[in-house]
Structures are given as structure tokens and as C-alpha cells.
Amino acid sequence: MYSVIDLFAGAGGLSLGFQQEGDFIVKGVIENNPNALNTYLKNHAGVAIKVDTDIRSIDFNKYKEEVGEVDLVIGGPPCQGFSNANRQKTKFISMNNALVKRYADAVLALKPKAFVMENVAMLKSDVHKFFDSRMDHEYVEGIGIKMKSESYVIMNHNPDGIEMVNLLSSEEKIKKYSLGDITFNLIKLINRYKDKKAKLSNYFDKYSKIIVNNLENYKSQICDDAVGHIVSDYVSNLIKVYKDKALSNTDIDIIDKFIEFIRATSLMAELYDNKIIFELSYEVSGKITALINTYSVFEYLSKRFKGEYIIDNKILNAADFGAPQERHRFIMIGIRRDYRPNCQITFPDALIGKRHTVRDAIADLEDFAPSKSVDAEPLERRNFSKNEFTRNLQDNQHKIYNHVNTDTRSVALERFKKIEPGKNFHSLSDELKMNTYSDPSRTQNTIYLRLDYDTESGTVVNVRKSMWIHPTKDRAISIREAARLQTFPDSYIFYGSKDSQYQQVGNAVPPILARAIAHQVKILLRG
């Protein structure tokens, strides 16, 4: 038996595939989401070492003393792409990519015979990058990684020229202008409702009091300087808007300027907190940018592993291995050089023959009306499918757990009725698109997607947030149906809130793909 440590384990799809293959036993699991960890542990008996803390706080040299020798490390660390274009977010989301570094730290500390890293298909693209940081600048340069200088917009419209640059250049001042995320997010909501009279009125009734209180506290902390006077005027205007519960075009302009200012301070605070090396630049137009050296996530991984591991990577599509969905994922496999010095990394071959469809995965559940509560009793099944693939997913279970979906509002139901199999939000009339998204034309093709029984689905995400629709019923896809598309058997039960269960399923590695990878890894380990 080969011992396995699962990092960023989630609900356990990757581990399940390895256990289904046989000859692999999970020795330790690390997952800091309590609901996902609960799901994992209730479906994987006998895991000896469980860690529910942030992986960034773990000393893997000490962890190694606890777990002993490890044959295999598996896991899918979050790695998000970064784009500075048209962003409304207040975070440099590529900071999350630091978790990829922790995965590499763990592998190099634990020194398993092999490792498997699963990630987004676009990991090798230019949008997946690290920012140059004082914490590891010398190390990164030392292993020969090439850096690229890039410019990131901090502010598009600067109300006070060089004084604003001076403020943003001061870590101490930045923190004095920090506005809590809750208040900031509530203020940003006003742009969603500004052209919708009834919703704007409800928004004011619901949030005005808390926003006013928080803004008055914020105003008392503003510095007595040139920028502070401008910001103080912004805040005074906002307080009046929320007290009067009235919004003019002039107010909207001031609110937008305040939002941009807070966004800029938030971005700068993140750069300081993460010890990012940068240089601010001020243009005559008013734009303030940060010049930052970046480097590729993929190149970093390749350079870090190549000394101790023979590595290779490939994009695998879960549909090629029996999953009823198109799901392209980056897979990197490494074999320790001193264990198999002449190892040639190979990947599993795609299955030949008929692909499985949405019908194969969920048609047997069509006439079972989903429950609305995760606490509802499981449904009873009396008959099993004659379709071999479906029968394997049924897993000889007479009870159907997690067949739960969300209530559908009347307006959403009207949209459901108008969308044909394989179509999405964009097929709706303009009338039915009203009062939905701030810019309906930019809505992703996965939103309000009605599944087609006779094809694979698209990549399963959080189908509740995406409002996926059943192929023939005017209702949302249930948690169990989403799990079926991911190839989780019915014996695999998910725990936590409804939102959490949908998210756990959407984040998972399809076990059927994991099993194909496990089979190949076993061949590589045996030589």
C-alpha cells in the first residue's frame, strides 16, 4: 500500500479516486474549510492525521516528524489568474497564488516518492503569476527565474496629484484611511440599484443606518491634510445621501470617486502586507500605477521541483475518462529522482468509445422532486438503472441523499421556462433579462444554463450560483445531480449548508478522473 497526504483536500474527490483504484491509503489530510473537512472525514474512514488550519501556518518539517515517510502527496492548491483590466475588485487576487508555493514547500519538505498537483487548465498562461516580494526575492532570483516588469492601475482618476501619490506611498497613512470591507461592499451596492427606484428605496431602508454610523466613525479618523480634506468632503456627502435617502447624478459621481479612493488604499495595503516590491508612478492624466516585477507560476514550480523530481504536465479532460462533463484540468506528476532515476513520466490515455452524457448521469433522478432543506429525510429508491454507468453512480444505494435544491422565485421560473436545452441566459428576451445583472451582455455563458440530456455538461462549478437548469424540468439542478455530473457515487454524502454543499461539489476533482491518474501513478511508482 502507498501512503497518501492530501493537501487542499476539499470534499475529497481526488482522494476518492485514488482509493477506488486500490493500493493507496490516505494517511493525512489538510483542509481548512470545516464543512468540506467534515464531508471528507465522514466519507474517508481511518484517516490518522487531520489538520484543519490554514496551510500557511504549518511547519512541514515538524509535520514530517508526525506523519513519517510518505509515498505520495496529492492536492489542488487554489491558483487564480490576474487581470488588471476593467476590475472592480479591491484585491490583487493573484496573492492567493501563494498557496501554490505552500504546496511546493510541503512536497519538498515531506519528500514523497511522487506527487500529483491538479489545477486550472490555464495555469501555464501569463495571467497566472506571482508578484516579486521581499520575502523570497533572493531565492527566486537564485533559482534562475526570469521576471517581467508590469504596470498595474491603482487609480484612474487622481483628485489631488502628487499628494495622493505621497499618501499611497506611506504604509502608515494607508492604514488610517482603511475602510472596513463590510461598509465598503455595502456602499458599492448603490451602483447596482441606482437606476431601480424600488430596489434603491429598499436598499436605503435596509442599510442607511449602519452605513451612516460607520462613515461617521471613519470621518473622525481622517488625517488633517490635503487628501484628508477631499476625502472628508466625499464622506460628508455620502452621509447626507444615506440620511436623506436620496441620490442625484452629482452624488453618484462623488460616490464613484470615493469608491475608487478606497479601492486604491485597499490595493496598496495588500501590496504592503505581502511585502511586494513596487514603484508608484503618476501620470499627468491623473492615473497612478504600480510598477511590479512578476514571474510565471508554472516556471516557478518547474524550477523548484526539477532538482529533486522528474516532472511533466498535461491538460486532461475529465470527459475523456468517463465523466459526463467537459472539464479540462492541468495535471503535474513528479517522481523523485533518487527513487526512479530513469523514470519517463506518462499520463493516462483517453478512453475510446461512447462518451457518457448528462442523461447517463442524472435521468434516473428526473421524477424525484428535490427537497428544499439539507435536513430533509433522504428519498427512497426502489429500482436500479439498467445503464451500467448510472448503476455504478447509484452504488446500490436505496436512499438518495443530497437531492436538494434551492427555491425558485417566480421571475426566475419564467426564465427557466423560456430556455431550451443547451441554451443560457443570452437566449432570453430583453424583457426577461431586466433587473438581473448590471450589464446583461457580459453575463457568462454558464449562467441560467439548461443542461442537454444528450451531451456532456460544461464544467461543473457552483451550479446554484450559476442557476443551472434541469434538462426537462423547470427547476434548479440539485446537489446530488451536480455530484453525479462530477461522478461522485450516491454513497458519498455531503455535509454543511446548502451553499457549502454546492460549492464543495463544484470545487471537487471528478473521482473518475482521479482514478485514471491514480492508475498511472501506480505504474510509475512500481517502475
> What would the mean pLDDT of 274-279 be, rounded to a whole number?
93
Of 286, 308, 329, the residue that ends a domain is 286
Q: Which residue has the higher pLDDT, 452 or 80?
A: 452
Q: Are residues 49 and 106 in the same domain?
A: yes
Q: Could you tell me the CATH number of the domain that includes residue 325?
A: 3.40.50.150
Residue 40 lies in a domain: yes
Q: Are residues 502 and 362 in the same domain?
A: yes
Mean pLDDT of the chain: 91
What's the number of domains the chain is made of? 3
Q: Are 438 and 192 in contact (CB under 8 A)?
A: yes
Share of the chain above pLDDT 90, in %: 71
Calculate the alpha carbon distances from 278 to 53, 64, 290, 337, 494 in Å.
31, 36, 6, 38, 44
Which residue in the block uniquely carries the three cell numbers 468517463? 322
Of 248, 267, 286, the residue that ends a domain is 286
Phi and psi (nearest 5°) for 215? -70, -35
Q: Are residues 379 and 501 in the same domain?
A: yes
Residue 141 lies in a domain: no
Share of the chain above pLDDT 70, in %: 96
pLDDT in tens, 430-458: 888 877 776 777 778 889 999 999 999 99
Q: Are residues 316 and 373 in the same domain?
A: no
Catalytic annotation on 223? no
pLDDT in tens, 300-317: 999 999 999 999 999 999
Residue 402 lies in a domain: yes
Distance, in Å, from the CA atom of 163 to the CA atom of 149, rounded to the nearest integer, reads 25
Residue 398 lies in a domain: yes
Q: Could you list the residue range(s) of the whole structural domain that residue 501 is in?
A: 358-506
Q: Are residues 431 and 455 in the same domain?
A: yes
pLDDT in tens, 142-186: 999 999 999 999 998 876 778 888 889 999 888 888 888 899 999
Q: Could you tell me the CATH number of the domain that includes residue 401?
A: 3.90.120.10
Residue 147 lies in a domain: no
> What would the mean pLDDT of 341-352 be, rounded to a whole number?
94
> Which of 107-111, 170-174, 328-332, 454-458 shows the lowest per-residue confidence on average (mean pLDDT)?
170-174
Closest among 133, 66, 174, 514 to 331, alpha carbons compared: 514
Residue 137 lies in a domain: no
Q: Are residues 278 and 314 in the same domain?
A: no
Q: Are 451 and 325 in contact (CB under 8 A)?
A: no
> What would the mean pLDDT of 138-143 be, rounded to a whole number?
94
Q: Are residues 270 and 321 in the same domain?
A: no
Dihedral angle computed from the Cα positions of residues 334, 41, 39 and 75, in that order, rounded to the nearest 10 degrees: -10
> Which of 32-46, 204-218, 422-436 shows the lowest per-residue confidence on average (mean pLDDT)?
422-436
Of 258, 286, 314, the residue that ends a domain is 286
Catalytic residue chosen out of the listed positions 79, 174, 460, 461: 79
> What would the mean pLDDT of 476-495 be, rounded to a whole number?
98
Residue 149 lies in a domain: no
Q: Are residues 214 and 172 in the same domain?
A: yes
Q: Are residues 15 and 70 in the same domain?
A: yes
Q: Are residues 281 and 302 in the same domain?
A: no
Q: Are residues 363 and 438 in the same domain?
A: yes
Residue 136 lies in a domain: no
Q: Are residues 201 and 316 in the same domain?
A: no
> What would the mean pLDDT of 98-102 be, rounded to a whole number?
90
Which residue in the block uniquely carries the three cell numbers 491538479? 118
Burial of 386 (0-12, 13-18, 19+ CB in 10 A): exposed
Taking the whole predicted model, whether its pTM rises above 0.85 is answered as yes
